[in-house]
């Protein structure tokens, strides 16, 4: 059986960051990714706040457009502008650069390799050649996204998920701001236009409701008056919206990123929190491997760094669930109290 100090499942932002941190501390790390190419296909609207640059190194090529302002369209017809400096990423390039960082730090990356099963100390991995390989691990880090096999196999319940659909389409005119649109129909969610230069990511995410996400997107494109023939790419995916699990470590298994529920419960943004929780999980794993420090230090460190913001998001999400209104004025009032607070 192969042996590693740490095995990380999933080479998204959370897993690549965790793998880089543990490998930098000198541990033998295996990073497992089921896709053939890290970060492809992209399933994301690609907005990150500017402060991400203080957390990770990424080159110019990872950035499609720098943006400064978020314009929010409320159901009662009011429109607000909020400073929201950030970037629309080229996520394919961004994710690949994070994985490259992990490999440069010494992690071994297996592509087209899928974690199929695990115990507290070992994993069954189906490799690119179809063979099943058993691997022993000192620590297992589950960074395998919203449908995390690591979490489900080790007894965590299925997360509450929003469903999102998105198209990338040619922009009728240049746009420098991000736009978010609320509508009573998009229950528990919203629609967005995030410009990338000549094109924009245009999508809708919702939790449940009278219409499917696909029907909501058709409704939204009609509202914008934009033509379906300008669509160049379609994507979509699932977003955890209930906040992190009460505990994100059990035995020798740690969860980070979407696998642990580390997205903002109101906005659904999860790239920065994936990187931050990945770093903290990596630091806890490195301390455990290096000096036997309890892995439970991860619970303290993520609560210190991310707890208050995510708890505010959870409170907002609960209100959206209970108070979402069909009436535009009532819904706008709720949104002003819970959106970007």
Contact between 56 and ligand FAD per CB under 6 A: no
Query: Closest distance between ligand FAD and the C-beta of residue 149, in Å?
Result: 4
Query: Closest distance between ligand FAD and the C-beta of residue 76, in Å?
Result: 25
Query: Closest distance between ligand FAD and the C-beta of residue 216, in Å?
Result: 13
DSSP conformational letter for 157: P
First to last CA, the chain: 50
Contact between 15 and ligand FAD per CB under 6 A: yes
**Distance between CA 269 and CA 303 in Å, rounded?**
18
Contact between 14 and ligand FAD per CB under 6 A: yes
Contact between 10 and ligand FAD per CB under 6 A: yes
**Distance between CA 11 and CA 144 in Å, rounded?**
8
Q: 115 or 139, CB closer to ligand FAD? A: 115
- Please select the residue that binds ligand FAD; options are 4, 8, 13, 93, rule is CB under 6 A: 13
- Please select the residue that binds ligand FAD; options are 4, 47, 186, 298, rule is CB under 6 A: 47
Contact between 282 and ligand FAD per CB under 6 A: no
Choose one: 23-31, 101-109, 144-152, 284-292; the region binding ligand FAD (CB under 6 A).
144-152
- Please select the residue that binds ligand FAD; options are 22, 143, 221, 242, rule is CB under 6 A: 143
**Distance between CA 154 and CA 174 in Å, rounded?**
48
Cβ–Cβ under 8 Å, residues 279 and 273? no
Contact between 145 and ligand FAD per CB under 6 A: yes
Contact between 236 and ligand FAD per CB under 6 A: yes
**Distance between CA 39 and CA 154 in Å, rounded?**
25
Query: Closest distance between ligand FAD and the C-beta of residue 294, in Å?
Result: 24
- Kindly give, in sequence order, each residue whose CB lies less than 8 Å from that of residue 270, ignoring residues fewer than 6 positions away: 239, 240, 257, 258, 262, 263, 264
Q: Walk across the sheet containing 79-89 and list its strands.
A: 47-49, 79-89, 63-73, 178-181, 190-195, 199-206, 161-170, 231-240
Of residues 181 through 210, those in contact with ligand FAD by CB under 6 A are 203
Contact between 269 and ligand FAD per CB under 6 A: yes
C-alpha angle 40-14-133 in degrees, rounded to nearest 5 = 75
**Distance between CA 32 and CA 283 in Å, rounded?**
19
- Kindly give, in sequence order, each residue whose CB lies less than 8 Å from that of residue 254, ignoring residues fewer than 6 positions away: 139, 140, 141, 142, 248, 281, 284, 285, 295, 298
- Please select the residue that binds ligand FAD; options are 25, 200, 271, 280, rule is CB under 6 A: 271
Query: Closest distance between ligand FAD and the C-beta of residue 174, in Å?
Result: 20
Q: 124 or 293, CB closer to ligand FAD? A: 124
């Amino acid at each position: 059986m192969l042996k590693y100090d740490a095995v990380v499942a999933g080479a998204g932002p959370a897993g690549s960051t965790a793998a880089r941190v543990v490998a930098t501390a000198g541990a033998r790390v295996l990073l497992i990714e089921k896709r053939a190419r890290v970060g492809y296909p992209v399933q994301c609207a690609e907005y990150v706040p500017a402060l991400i640059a203080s957390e990770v190194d990424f080159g110019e090529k990872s950035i499609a457009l720098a943006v400064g302002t978020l314009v929010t369209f409320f159901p009662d017809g009011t429109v607000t502008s909020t400073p929201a400096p950030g970037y629309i990423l080229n996520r394919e390039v961004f994710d690949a650069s994070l994985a490259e960082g992990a490999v440069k730090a010494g992690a071994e990356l297996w592509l087209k390799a899928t974690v199929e099963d695990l115990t507290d100390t070992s994993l069954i991995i189906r490799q690119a050649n179809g063979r099943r390989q058993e691997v022993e691990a000192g620590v297992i880090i589950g960074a395998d996204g919203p449908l995390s096999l690591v979490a489900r196999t080790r007894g965590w319940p299925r997360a509450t998920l929003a469903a999102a659909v998105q198209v990338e389409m040619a922009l009728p005119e240049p746009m420098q701001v991000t736009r978010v649109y609320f509508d009573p129909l998009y229950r528990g969610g919203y629609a967005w236009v995030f410009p990338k230069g000549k094109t924009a990511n245009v999508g809708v995410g919702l939790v449940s409701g009278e219409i499917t996400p696909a029907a909501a997107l058709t409704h939204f494109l009609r509202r914008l008056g934009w033509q379906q023939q300008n669509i160049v790419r379609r994507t979509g995916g699932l977003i955890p919206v209930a906040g992190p699990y009460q505990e994100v470590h059990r035995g020798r298994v740690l969860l980070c990123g979407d696998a642990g529920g580390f997205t903002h419960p109101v906005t659904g943004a999860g790239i920065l929190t994936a990187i931050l929780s990945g770093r903290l999980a990596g630091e806890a794993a490195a301390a455990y491997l290096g000096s036997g420090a309890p892995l439970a230090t991860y619970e303290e460190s993520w609560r210190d760094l991310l707890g208050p913001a995510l708890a505010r998001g959870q409170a907002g999400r609960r209100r959206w669930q209970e108070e979402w209104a069909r009436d535009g004025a009532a819904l706008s009032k709720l949104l002003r109290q819970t959106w970007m607070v």
